[in-house]
Amino acid sequence: MNLRLLKKALLRLGFCGAIGVLLLYAVFPFYYAVLTSLKPSSALFQVSYWLDKPDFSNYAAVLQQASFLQAIGNSVFVAVCVVALALFLSLTAAYALGRVKFRGRATVLLLVLGVSMFPQVAVLSGLFEVIRALGLYNSAWALILSYTIFTLPFTVWVLTTFIGQLPGELEEAAIMDGASPWVALTRVLLPLLWPALVTTGLLAFIAAWNEFLFALTFTLTDQERTVPVAIALISGGSQHELPWGLLMAASVIVTVPLVLLVLVFQRRIVSGLTTGALKG
């Protein structure tokens, strides 16, 4: 009897230990970035695991840089516009794909899935030409347009799944009453779709906020750069003297909103991620 109790206690201890290791692994790097960002530059090169007195000089220095503030503004603008554009385009498309049976539906879904799979670099030169032809080079609109390539496929996919799961009777009643598909979508289905829109919108926002390759290639000047590019280009006197304190402060500033979003909406985000992948 005692042996069994001991075994149970050991198992429990092992389990708690495993959860502890997992949490440490997941959270420590970000914690360490916060820690570094709160150190004065004199203490930067002494490794420590705890901080006695936070020093905000790195944050003050980063927030005084006009180009960094500009980059935050650009990132917010780009991400919000991408979310609006992607949701509008994919909502109508998802209605057609999730609610109407027609010839070619499977082909369209396969095409959308195909686009989500192909490498961004494969369209880089062609897209560069399109953007220059439209006169959008080095502007936020270049990014807003090009980001639909990776946001649209999964917003369409996830919203199609969500719309497909809604009961059909509501909409049928509206159509019997003579409502057009547009009215059926916006008046009848849309109110039920808010949770799904929040989920897909969040995922699109995070994807747009984090994108790097297009932002690096399609923008040229500090005025148009987004946050990831601005951070990648922060440099010191030489490659080996990066201003780490400053860099970590900038990293924390651009990550905290995302971490908060994730903590608040984790249930929705998880359901969005898994519908996109598992039902497809």
Partner 1 sequence: MTSSISQAQPFYDEPLAIKETPVQRRRVRAAWLFLTPMLLCLLLVAGWPLLRTFWFSLTDTSLSDAGAGAFVGLSNYLARDGDVWSGVLVDPLWWQAVRNTLHFTVVSVGLEICIGLAVALLLNVQFAGRALVRAMILIPWAIPTIVSAKIWAWMLNDQFGIINHLMLGLGLIDAPLAWTADASLSMWAVIMVDVWKTVPFVALLMLAALQMLPGDCYEAARVDGVHPLKVFWRVTLPLLMPALLVAAIFRILDSLRVFDVIYVLTSNSSSTMSMSIYARQQLVEFQDVGYGSAASTLLFLIVAVIAVLYLYLGRRQMEVR
Q: Does the protein bind partner 1 through residue 173 (CB under 8 A)?
A: no
Q: If we measure between CA atoms, which residue out of 213, 193, 224, 191 comes closest to residue 147?
A: 213
| Ranges within 175-204 binding partner 1 (CB under 8 A) | 175, 180-182, 185
What number of chain residues touch partner 1 (CB under 8 A)?
Answer: 91
Q: Does the protein bind partner 1 through residue 15 (CB under 8 A)?
A: yes
Q: Which residues contact 86 (CB under 8 A, 6 or more apart)?
A: 147, 148, 151, 152, 155, 200, 204
- Tell me if residue 136 falls in helix, strand or coil: coil
Given 66, 69, 173, 232, the residue binding partner 1 (CB under 8 A): 232
Burial (CB count within 10 angstroms: exposed 0-12, middle 13-18, buried 19+), residue 65: middle
Q: Does the protein bind partner 1 through residue 3 (CB under 8 A)?
A: no
Measured from the CB atom, the residue of 56 and 88 that comes closer to partner 1 is 88
Given 1, 5, 42, 45, the residue binding partner 1 (CB under 8 A): 45
| Ranges within 65-84 binding partner 1 (CB under 8 A) | none
Rounded CA-CA distance 62/85 in Å is 31
| Ranges within 109-168 binding partner 1 (CB under 8 A) | 110-112, 114-115, 117-130, 132, 145-146, 148-149, 152, 156
The interface region with partner 1, picked from 2-10, 41-49, 65-73, 189-197 by CB under 8 A, is 41-49
Distance of closest approach, residue 46 Cβ to partner 1, in angstroms = 8
Given 9, 13, 19, 51, the residue binding partner 1 (CB under 8 A): 19
Distance of closest approach, residue 168 Cβ to partner 1, in angstroms = 12
First to last CA, the chain: 50
Distance of closest approach, residue 17 Cβ to partner 1, in angstroms = 11
Given 209, 225, 246, 268, the residue binding partner 1 (CB under 8 A): 209
Q: Which DSSP helix (H) or strand (E) runs through 170?
A: helix 169-176
Q: Does the protein bind partner 1 through residue 254 (CB under 8 A)?
A: yes
| Dihedral (Cα; 182, 188, 189, 194), 10-degree rounding | 120
Given 2, 4, 5, 25, the residue binding partner 1 (CB under 8 A): 25
Neighbours of 229 (CB within 10 A): 22
Distance of closest approach, residue 239 Cβ to partner 1, in angstroms = 9
Q: Does the protein bind partner 1 through residue 63 (CB under 8 A)?
A: no
Rounded CA-CA distance 145/204 in Å is 13
Give the pair of three-digit tokens for residue 276: 């996109």
Rounded CA-CA distance 260/32 in Å is 18
